Amino acid sequence: MPINPRVRIQTEDFDLSTEVAALRAGDGGVGAVCSFVGTVRDHNAGQAGGAAEAVSAMELEHYPGMTERAIEAMIDEAFQRFDLRGARVIHRVGLLQPQDQIVLVVVSSAHRGESFKGCEFLMDYLKTQAPFWKKESTPDGARWVDARVADDQALARWGLQAANSA
Amino acid sequence: MNPSLGTAGGQAASITVRYFASLREALGASEAITLAAGTTLGDLRDHLIARGGRHAEVLARGRALRCALNQVMADEATPVPAGAEVAFFPPVTGG
């Protein structure tokens, strides 16, 4: 395994400062770093028109092998589209609690515009194309989370067809 | 049991089918299947639906489902080569 792999799928938590420092290390051309951290909410949006429900835990499943491969391809695509100097993605799997960190995307570039765009692009891509599935524990029992049309629309802004939620 | 899918059209090929999330809960994590050369992912889905029972229920046409061929997202028109790893799963919800 490389010392600084671009993609990590892990059960353990991660530390934003450590990852940003590792991404910048030794690269004097970096003038901007943009990061995104996704966390577990303590409630969901409710079932089709219903009221929000409390979420007491979340289980994350993935497709080992394909997940890493899919995210590596997304990072390659981000490097094609934007003038980036570095990128890394960490996604947790297994059992998580409300307020836990789930996902980290960190991107570096010479100027801020490319980092902002690269970070958002990677998250939009990941939401609809990386093979992860969330199962929430609610007072009514455990339930697989539905894909959101809004996530497909977010990817469409970049000129890419998601076709995930339909 | 190793059901084959209309092998008259060409050489039989064995593949692995994997399921994830709600499909894994209903059908198990994986199964080995023998099918004819030239079979597409969509043909394979129809073949599995034709078994009836839980397969028919969770793979039913009209249900949002995605598939991957050798760990890359693929559409149902894609032919399945011998030795392939095919996966069926619900829309993804990571991030």
pLDDT reported for residue B6: 52
pTM above 0.80, yes or no: yes
Cβ count within 10 A of residue A62 = 22
Write the burial class of residue A12 (CB in 10 Å: 0-12 exposed, 13-18 middle, 19+ buried): exposed
- Give the separation between CA A113 and CA A39, rounded to whole angstroms: 24
- Give the separation between CA B14 and CA B10, rounded to whole angstroms: 13
**Does B89 contact chain A (CB < 8 Å)?**
yes
For an interface test with B, give the residue of A37, A105, A133, A144 to mutate (most B CBs within 10 A). A133
B22-33: average pLDDT: 98
Q: Where are the domains of chain B?
A: 4-89
Convert the pLDDT of each residue in A74-84 to its tens digit: 999 999 999 99
Convert the pLDDT of each residue in A92-107 to its tens digit: 999 999 999 999 999 9
Walk me through the domains of chain A, giving residue ranges and CATH numbers: 7-156 (3.90.1170.40)
Interchain CB distance below 8 Å, B95 and A63 = no
The radius of gyration of chain B's CA atoms, rounded to the nearest angstrom, is 13
pLDDT reported for residue A166: 73
**Which CATH code for domain B4-89?**
3.10.20.30
pLDDT reported for residue A151: 93
Closest CA–CA distance from residue B56 to any residue of chain A (Å): 19
pLDDT reported for residue B74: 97
pLDDT at residue B2 tops 60: no
Q: Considering only alpha carbons, which residue of chain B is nearest residue A135?
A: B21
Closest CA–CA distance from residue A17 to any residue of chain B (Å): 20
- Averaged pLDDT of chain B: 91
Interchain CB distance below 8 Å, A66 and B71 = yes
**Does A103 contact chain B (CB < 8 Å)?**
yes
pLDDT at residue B10 tops 80: no
Task: Give one word for B72, left, alpha or beta, with left for phi > 0 and alpha for psi -120 to 50.
Answer: beta
Convert the pLDDT of each residue in A21-71 to its tens digit: 999 999 999 999 999 999 999 998 887 778 899 999 999 999 999 999 999
Task: Give one word for A147, left, alpha or beta, with left for phi > 0 and alpha for psi -120 to 50.
Answer: beta
